[in-house]
Amino acid sequence: MTVHRSDRPLLEIQDLRTHFFTQDGTVKAVDGVSYEIGDGKTVGVVGESGCGKSITALSVMRLIEQPGRIVGGSVLLRGRDLLRVDDAEMRDIRGNQISMIFQEPMTSLNPVYTCGDQISEAVSLHEAVGRRQAWERAVEMLQLVGIPDPARRAKQYPHELSGGMRQRVMIAMALSTNPELLIADEPTTALDVTIQAQILELMKSLRERNRMAIMLITHDLGVIAEMADDVVVMYAGQVVEQSDADTVFAKPHHPYTTGLLASIPRLGEKRQRLEVIQGVVPNPLNLPKGCLFKRRCPHAMPVCDTPPPLQEIARGHLSRCWLTPAGEPPAVGPEATGELAEAAASALQAPA
Amino acid sequence: MESTQLGQIPAKATTGAGQGAVDEVDLTPVRTYWQLARQRFMQHSLAVVGLIVMAILVTLALVVPTITGSLYAKTSLSLANHPPSLLNPFAPLGYDSIGMNVFIRLVKALQTSLFVGFSAVSIIVVVGITVGAIAGYVGGAVDNLLMRLVDVVLSLPSFFLIVMMVALFGTGNAIVVIVAIGIVGWTTAARLVRAEFLSLRETDFVQAARALGAGDRRIIVRHMLPAAMAPVVVAATLGIADSVVVEATLSFLSFGISPPEASLGNMLTNAQEFFYRQPILILYPGLTLILVVLAASFMGDGLRDALDPRQRVRK
């Protein structure tokens, strides 16, 4: 496959909006999310359950099912808007340019086919190869993902393999067509810790080998620290902070990110109680006015009733919070708030 | 911890350093799906008995009428009411009241019944899978429409519907009987397939197939149907038994296959007329019917256990 290098990033998500039209009302699962993934880069997307990180990924793949619908924005893959290509083209892109691996290796493989069959199928969906060639590729892929005795394993059914092995098979399947972007939706959540480390190692080495980009969705900041170049923190369907990984860990700005980092237990540290973020994620059917995080935020202030824009607080570091770049409360007073609101409006209109 | 290096395969049966027990090579031979299924089927002794009985019946039904040709309808008054005798290999079951060879006629009747049974089930399976798969996969209004159609068909008294269709389109015609049974009988299969599809549609592996770029038809045929087949196979096997019984009932009531063609049902009617003189004549078609039904039911049970890939072989 030819890889077109250009100035544009591999994937640009722009103002993506995916809403679910339920009987109780509209859930704005993804509401104006923008971020990009450069060639060969790993972007970690973090956030609590239900913050919209998986829905963003599924929207990129156009795998949103009823009652969900992508209502706005664009997803540009090398400049081509995936939301506007027809179904056949999209099928061709899935698994070929963008592959996806899922959280549950136990159920993501079809129980009635052997592992080899399933990888061969992935290959033959996108390349005109014969059965035997496809099978050989499958065995090769199994070897690549570190499965011992791949020729024999290829003939086995998923239930004959352990969770870690199955996730390796999933990765083999996803990578069998050399995608430029791998979307990994919580790839290690269902695995135990030692296997997690193995799978992350594997993904790292395959990333170097194939020079592919990874969208890594997780709620595990440890995984992010291990893998990611850039980090996108999501909360209630919005990006609240975005930066390179080092900055996020060293100088988090948004109180939500700070809270997430504080709630990681650390080895060798004596603490009576683990820090937690107070409260719960707001009901998506009844989001608060203004900042979505204000009810749980230790820094909540009057200005938070106006929705804060996602603004650059340092080079390459975006945060959706009214706190000043230094983390101070902004100058208070009605005029100041008005100015800030204007700034917000212009920031929202300005092209990214 | 050792991570797996690219392209480097750990040697067979390593001590598993770093890899843990997970990646250790298991040296038991790989068994394929069909080997496993056969093994499970064979452990089900009733199913094996059912299979053997069915195999014998099918062989008889295929071989004997081919050799004897039209003899099953030949009457010979001089041989009328000849008693059964094992000494006569040509007519071990004797002759009936109009001098027809009971054994040859019985096997011909068996052939008719099995033909009707298998054909009707084929219609049931094809229609049922198609309707069920579409309803379950597409969902929404299509699903609603198709399932209401199923409700309508189910709410009609099926046997009378069959009788009516046969009466309208020609009594005594096996094809009409088959189509009638098929038209009435597909609903259960459709419901089973739909139910399976509804849950399969949400499974991760279907989602994964979609993420790999598989199209709708491929997902339905390759990924969902095989997983939905187990209940259909069971229903189909039991459906053979049902269809055979329905055909026999129809023929017994003179709506189905009528003499001189032979069917288990019309042999029963015939035998009933001569019940006082030759009561044993009722036994032959009756027992054959029971054998067919039991064999099919036992096979259905065995297949259900065998075809479920999630079940492991019991030791």
Please indicate whether, in this complex, the C-beta atoms of A122 and B212 are within 8 angstroms of each other.
yes
pLDDT tens digit sequence for A35-73: 999 998 999 999 888 888 889 999 999 988 878 899 989
Tell me which residue of B115, B122, B216 sits closest to B174, measured CA to CA: B115
Predicted confidence band of residue A191 (pLDDT cuts 50, 70, 90): confident
For residue B3, the 8-state DSSP code is P
pTM: 0.72
- Reported residue count of chain A is 352
Task: Tell me which residue in B23, B33, B213 faces A95 most closely, judged by beta carbons.
Answer: B213
Tell me which residue of B207, B200, B6 sits closest to A99, measured CA to CA: B207
Average pLDDT over residues A78-102: 89
Domains and CATH numbers, chain B: 33-306 (1.10.3720.10)
Q: Kindly identify which residue of chain A lies nearest to residue B312, measuring between CA atoms.
A: A159
Tell me which residue of A183, A217, A2, A214 sits closest to A99, measured CA to CA: A183
Q: List beta partners, residue A100.
A: A183
Predicted confidence band of residue A342 (pLDDT cuts 50, 70, 90): low
ipTM field: 0.73
pLDDT for res B147: 93
Q: Kindly identify which residue of chain A lies nearest to residue B29, measuring between CA atoms.
A: A152
A109: chain B residues, CB-CB within 8 Å = 205, 208
Average pLDDT over residues A191-198: 83
A61: chain B residues, CB-CB within 8 Å = 211
Please indicate whether, in this complex, the C-beta atoms of A157 and B310 are within 8 angstroms of each other.
no
Q: Distance (Å) from the C-alpha of residue A306 to the closest C-alpha of chain B? A: 39
For residue A191, the 8-state DSSP code is S
**Local confidence pLDDT in tens for the 315 residues of chain B:** 444 444 444 444 443 334 444 445 555 555 666 777 788 888 888 889 999 999 998 998 888 878 877 777 777 777 676 777 766 767 677 777 777 778 888 888 899 899 999 999 999 999 999 999 999 998 889 999 999 999 999 898 888 888 888 888 877 778 888 999 998 889 988 998 999 898 888 888 888 888 888 888 888 888 888 878 878 888 888 888 889 898 888 888 888 777 777 888 888 888 888 778 777 888 888 899 999 999 998 988 888 778 765 555 443
pLDDT for res B9: 42
B144 touching chain A per CB within 8 A? no
Tell the residue number behind the tokens 């496959």, with chain if given: A1
Please indicate whether, in this complex, the C-beta atoms of A109 and B205 are within 8 angstroms of each other.
yes
Q: How many C-beta neighbours within 10 Å does residue A232 have?
A: 28
Long-range pairs for A189-196 at CB < 8 Å and ≥24 separation? A189/A103, A189/A218, A189/A219, A189/A220, A190/A103, A190/A104, A190/A105, A190/A106, A190/A163, A191/A105, A191/A163, A191/A164, A191/A167, A192/A163, A194/B1, A194/B20, A195/A163, A195/A164, A195/A167, A195/B20, A195/B22, A196/A223
Task: Tell me which residue in A148, A194, A209 faces B20 most closely, judged by beta carbons.
Answer: A194
A206: chain B residues, CB-CB within 8 Å = 6
Helix locations, B100-155, DSSP H = 102-138, 140-155
B32 touching chain A per CB within 8 A? yes
Please give the structure tokens belonging to residue B85: 């005798």
Please indicate whether, in this complex, the C-beta atoms of B214 and A91 are within 8 angstroms of each other.
yes
Q: Distance (Å) from the C-alpha of residue B306 to the closest C-alpha of chain A? A: 13
Q: Kindly identify which residue of chain A lies nearest to residue B37, measuring between CA atoms.
A: A112
B34 touching chain A per CB within 8 A? no
Please give the structure tokens belonging to residue A342: 């204007």
Is it the case that residue A337 has pLDDT exceeding 60?
no
